[in-house]
Amino acid sequence: MTRARVLLLNAALGPLDYRVPHGMTVEPGSIVVAPLGPRQLTGVLWEPERMPSDAEVGDNRLRPLVAVHDAPPLPAPLRRLIEWTADYYLSPPAAVLRMALASSSALEGGRTVIEYRATGRVPDRMTPQRAQALERIGERQGLIRELALAANVSDGVIRGLVKAGAVEAVEVALDSPYPIPDPDHAPPTLSGEQRGVADILAASVADRAFAPFVLDGVTGSGKTEVYFEAIARALREDRQTLVLLPEIALTEPFLKRFIARFGEAPVAWHSDLRQSQRRRAWRAIATGEAKVTVGARSALFLPYRDLGLIVVDEAHESSFKQEEGVQYHARDVAVMRGLLEKIPVVLASATPAIETRHQVTLGRYRELKLPSRFGAAVMPTIEALDLIGDPPERGRWLAPTLVRAMTETLERGEQTLLFLNRRGYAPLTLCRHCGHRFQCPNCTAWMVEHRLVSRLQCHHCGHMTPPPRACPECGEEDSLVACGPGVERIADEVRALFPDARTAIVTSDTLWSPAKAAEFVARMEDGEIDIVVGTQLVTKGYHFPNLTLVGVIDADLGLDGGDLRAAERSFQQIAQVSGRAGRGEKPGHVYVQTHSPDAPVIRALVSGDAESFYAAETESRRDAGAPPFGRFAAIIVSAEDNRAATETARLIGRTAPQVEGMHVYGPAPAPLAMLRGRHRQRLLIHARRALDVQDVIRDWLGALDWPRSVRVAVDVDPYSFL
Ligand code: ADP
Ligand code: ZN
């Protein structure tokens, strides 16, 4: 008789004990099927001493496990990572486990699946829905459900197309092996500087010990080429590598470079994968056959069998922080995974975060620098344009100096990038007659006009309405005016100024899939685009040698948020976008439009003196006891009913423990007081570094009860203060 403790995939349940039936072999990490009432759930066997259960049941009352899945057990370092993440971010272990078991179909048997794709035949009877489906399906292949989702039609429409012969079934083998990248395919000749750094990283891969590195190199210094050498070493050692990227739009350019260097593609992991691709990737990762995986933050919890190296590229990016469910920071968890797996972790960035720099100061992370651009490329010159001294014409957003520079760039046949971190046409629409402002019914936010698709859209919940002809408040027709610019409005201005130039808008609205990103990259490289107007999506990763001019439309925008990282984030963003200019042989130039050319951020960018900017920011963090010198945690209370949210938040505030070195602010309505129809209240906990704030919060909230309709979320080390 053996007992087994099982962590089930159900966040509401603690671990439960089961009986292992005769003839079944299991070990810690085994992925099993366990009965729960009338249902069967997937779970993972755990060491009982590491996962205490408060529902201990006598041996004679244990129910037997049903089956063991045909998949390798979760390795011990991953089990420790799941425990640590649950503990640190105050989340149910099952919620973290779910990220490791991210493909339920990967656990099921069967080696093939039926997918569908268009045949190119036109159905005899064509309806608007069928036409839409065929147009959107294009080259896509997938389950009926996946095609229906992509085409925004019902499953029935796709099934009808199958009957009509316009879509056909294909059998897909699920576990066909991935080709193995070749470390010797096309190694570059590294510069002396690059070689020194690459050798250190490669040696540490061979060492098989925990070693956190900060690869701090200016944009275009060859950070990617250098960490590729560490990957090559891991390949030679036959170990796996994980590369985390901040956006899935960056996957495509990464894949191209990777193939050029290693001859074969890595395994990609992101939210745009089909179920069958997900399954295949998961299994290859779990068996160790997937040698290099590149992915968004969710790839971090996958069950790598023999991980030898983790790279976090653009490690300063705030998109590594997950803001829903388990609110973890992938950069920090990556370092923890490196510690548990006993492997090197490389945080690559041209603008490392203050938290990361601090770890270098403390001697915990080793800093490796690449201070100059590779080859003939030099850093671009950066100039501030004072919007008060040199203002754009009335109703326009581009200062005359920037327009002149754009004209010259066009004449030289080179490319320009204009950066504004605002999607849509205008951030605010109002009625000129009565002043009515269009607000989202579900959120504390303005509706943003998107002219390309002629919609007003909420950027928080996605709510959309067609722009009304008449003001809903006063009934006046044609009275709506757009206030302020978004990228679409800038693109309009560009087209008016340069009617012959070829313009592209790059935002998450236009580059919503890796394939779209690939198309954009190809058009840029082929010189089919003269001027790009884009959001933060174009600020990182891309390498376009003919792009020589960058214009930052509104450098003051980033400072609006006012949270503790606003200045740092602004600096990073502008430094990154500037880094797109002059990456080839032609020199780059950057104009930064601002109302406050004397602000420390702008001065640092223009002078190139990042160090004194960081030093000043770091000092002000130290004075305020802000991270990395002190710590924050937020408690967000939300409910559809405002009173319920307020009362629970007050209860939490009233019962706040008195702890030396800790202060609780609030509750107060969140700046985003309403989000997706839920009213929100926030409390902010500020504590000294050494305090185990998680323990305090666990005891504090654990003793309280609130109505089921109220959600209480804890955000440890918050990045958003909304
Ligand atoms: P970063 O990641 O630091 O911005 P990249 O790795 O993208 O820099 O390098 C910038 C450009 O220079 C890329 O096109 C890259 O292929 C090229 N490059 C860098 N180092 C080398 C090298 N040693 N040999 C050939 N090309 C290189
Ligand atoms: Zn909304």
Cβ neighbours for 354, distance < 8 A, ≥ 6 positions apart: 565, 568, 614, 617, 618, 621, 627, 628
Cα–Cα distance between 687 and 626 in angstroms, integer?
9
State the distance from the centre of ligand 1 to the C-alpha of 332, rounded, in angstroms.
Answer: 26
C-beta 374 within 6 A of ligand 1: yes
Q: Mean pLDDT across the chain, nearest whole number?
A: 92
C-beta 263 within 6 A of ligand 1: no
CA angle 436, 438, 439 (to 5 degrees): 120
Cα–Cα distance between 223 and 218 in angstroms, integer?
8
The residue type at 212: P
Would you place residue 553 in the very low, low, confident or very high pLDDT band (cuts 50, 70, 90)? very high
Bridge-based pairing of strands 16-20 and 2-8 is: antiparallel
Q: What is the pLDDT of residue 513?
A: 73
State the distance from the centre of ligand 1 to the C-alpha of 226, rounded, in angstroms.
Answer: 8
Q: What is the pLDDT of residue 561?
A: 63
State the distance from the centre of ligand 2 to the C-alpha of 466, rounded, in angstroms.
Answer: 15
Ligand 1, atom nearest to 579 Cα: 4
Cα–Cα distance between 391 and 593 in angstroms, integer?
9
Assign residue 133 a region (left: φ > 0; alpha: ψ between -120 and 50; beta: otherwise). alpha
State the distance from the centre of ligand 1 to the C-alpha of 223, rounded, in angstroms.
Answer: 7
Ligand 1, atom nearest to 219 Cα: 4
- Percent of the chain whose pLDDT exceeds 70: 99
More confident residue, 683 or 122: 683
Q: What is the pLDDT of residue 274?
A: 83
Would you place residue 63 in the very low, low, confident or very high pLDDT band (cuts 50, 70, 90)? very high
Q: Is 22 exposed, middle or buried (0-12, 13-18, 19+ CB in 10 A)?
A: exposed
Residue 368: strand, helix, or coil: strand
3-state SS track over 109-158: CCCEEEEEEECCCCCCCCCHHHHHHHHHHCCCEECHHHHHHHHCCCHHHH
Closest CA to 304 of 77, 93, 87, 99: 77
Q: What is the pLDDT of residue 637?
A: 97
Ligand 1, atom nearest to 545 Cα: 14
Query: What is the per-residue burial (b if ≥16 Cβ within 10 Å, else e) of 580-617?
Result: bbbbbebebbbbbbbebbebebbebbbeeebeebbeeb
Ligand 1, atom nearest to 377 Cα: 12
Bridge-based pairing of strands 267-269 and 307-313 is: unpaired
Query: What is the per-residue burial (b if ≥16 Cβ within 10 Å, else e) of 298-310?
Result: ebbbbbbbebbbb
C-beta 543 within 6 A of ligand 1: yes
Average pLDDT over residues 294-307: 95
Least confident interval from 99-103, 247-251, 390-394, 639-643: 247-251
Using CA positions, which residue lies closest to atom 9 of ligand 1? 222
Cα–Cα distance between 172 and 574 in angstroms, integer?
45
State the distance from the centre of ligand 2 to the C-alpha of 569, rounded, in angstroms.
Answer: 25
The torsion defined by the Cα of 448, 451, 456 and 459, in degrees rounded to 10, comes to -40
State the distance from the centre of ligand 2 to the C-alpha of 677, rounded, in angstroms.
Answer: 8
Cβ neighbours for 108, distance < 8 A, ≥ 6 positions apart: 69
State the distance from the centre of ligand 2 to the C-alpha of 463, rounded, in angstroms.
Answer: 5
Q: What is the pLDDT of residue 177?
A: 80
State the distance from the centre of ligand 2 to the C-alpha of 439, rounded, in angstroms.
Answer: 8
Q: What is the pLDDT of residue 272?
A: 79
**Dihedral pair phi/psi, residue 224, rounded to 5°:** -65, -50
Least confident interval from 24-38, 39-53, 130-144, 205-219: 130-144
Q: What is the pLDDT of residue 249?
A: 74
CA angle 306, 350, 85 (to 5 degrees): 40
Closest CA to 298 of 101, 460, 159, 110: 101
Residues listed for the chain: 722
Measured on CA atoms in the order 247, 248, 249, 250, is the torsion positive or negative? positive
3-state SS track over 435-482: CCECECCCCCCECEEECCCCEEECCCCCCEECCCCECCCCCCECCEEE
State the distance from the centre of ligand 2 to the C-alpha of 642, rounded, in angstroms.
Answer: 17
C-beta 190 within 6 A of ligand 1: yes
Ligand located closest to 447 CA: 2
Q: By the 8 A CB rule, do 677 and 643 touch?
A: no
pLDDT tens, residue by residue, 133-147 = 888 888 888 888 888
Instruction: Give the Cβ contact number of residue 624 at 10 Å.
Output: 12
Q: What is the pLDDT of residue 681?
A: 97
Cα–Cα distance between 70 and 82 in angstroms, integer?
21
Ligand 1, atom nearest to 190 Cα: 23
Does the pLDDT of residue 489 top 70, yes or no? yes
Paired with 654 in beta bridges are none
Q: Which whole-number Å values give the CA distances from 486 to 397, 417, 483, in the listed order?
A: 10, 15, 9
Would you place residue 234 in the very low, low, confident or very high pLDDT band (cuts 50, 70, 90)? very high
With the most atoms of ligand 1 within 8 angstroms of its CB, the residue from 543, 576, 578 to mutate is: 543
Paired with 266 in beta bridges are none
Task: Identify the helix (H) or strand (E) that includes residue 531.
Answer: strand 531-534
Q: What is the pLDDT of residue 391?
A: 93
Does the pLDDT of residue 196 top 80, yes or no? yes
Q: What is the pLDDT of residue 502?
A: 96
Ligand located closest to 443 CA: 2
Does the pLDDT of residue 715 top 60, yes or no? yes
Cβ neighbours for 518, distance < 8 A, ≥ 6 positions apart: 252, 253, 256
Q: Please, what's the largest Cα pairwise distance for the chain?
A: 85
What's the token pair of residue 53? 């259960």
Paired with 589 in beta bridges are 381, 549
Does the pLDDT of residue 366 top 60, yes or no? yes
Read off the DSSP letter of residue 638.
Answer: E
Q: What is the pLDDT of residue 656?
A: 96
State the distance from the centre of ligand 2 to the C-alpha of 635, rounded, in angstroms.
Answer: 21
Q: What is the pLDDT of residue 416?
A: 96
pLDDT tens, residue by residue, 597-641 = 998 889 999 998 888 899 999 999 999 999 999 999 999 999 999
Closest CA to 346 of 324, 327, 319, 365: 365
With the most atoms of ligand 1 within 8 angstroms of its CB, the residue from 191, 225, 262 to mutate is: 225
Using CA positions, which residue lies closest to atom 25 of ligand 1? 188
Using CA positions, which residue lies closest to atom 17 of ligand 1? 222
Bridge-based pairing of strands 464-465 and 292-295 is: unpaired
Using CA positions, which residue lies closest to atom 22 of ligand 1? 190
Kindly list the strands in the beta sheet with 31-36, ordered across the sheet, starting from the edge strand earlier in the chain.
Answer: 16-20, 2-8, 39-46, 31-36, 67-68
Average pLDDT over residues 157-165: 90
Residue 605: strand, helix, or coil: helix
C-beta 667 within 6 A of ligand 1: no
Average pLDDT over residues 404-432: 94
Cα–Cα distance between 252 and 250 in angstroms, integer?
6
Does the pLDDT of residue 683 top 80, yes or no? yes
With the most atoms of ligand 1 within 8 angstroms of its CB, the residue from 194, 224, 312, 379 to mutate is: 224
Closest CA to 186 of 237, 225, 242, 221: 225
Task: Identify the helix (H) or strand (E) that includes residue 201.
Answer: helix 192-207
CA angle 413, 414, 416 (to 5 degrees): 135
Rg (CA), the chain: 27
Ligand located closest to 460 CA: 2
Average pLDDT over residues 411-427: 94
Ligand 1, atom nearest to 217 Cα: 3
Closest CA to 348 of 187, 229, 185, 267: 229
- Percent of the chain whose pLDDT exceeds 90: 67
Cβ neighbours for 233, distance < 8 A, ≥ 6 positions apart: 183, 201, 202, 205, 206, 309
Q: How far from the centroid of its chain's Cα atoms is residue 44's Cα?
A: 27
pLDDT tens, residue by residue, 376-399 = 888 899 999 999 998 999 889 999
The residue type at 55: A
Average pLDDT over residues 252-279: 89
Q: What is the pLDDT of residue 109?
A: 63
C-beta 351 within 6 A of ligand 1: no
Does the pLDDT of residue 497 top 60, yes or no? yes
C-beta 541 within 6 A of ligand 1: no
State the distance from the centre of ligand 1 to the C-alpha of 257, rounded, in angstroms.
Answer: 10
Closest CA to 653 of 642, 667, 670, 669: 667
Ligand located closest to 676 CA: 2
Would you place residue 110 in the very low, low, confident or very high pLDDT band (cuts 50, 70, 90)? low
State the distance from the centre of ligand 2 to the C-alpha of 448, rounded, in angstroms.
Answer: 10
pLDDT tens, residue by residue, 502-519 = 999 999 888 777 778 888
Would you place residue 646 in the very low, low, confident or very high pLDDT band (cuts 50, 70, 90)? very high
pTM across the whole model: 0.90
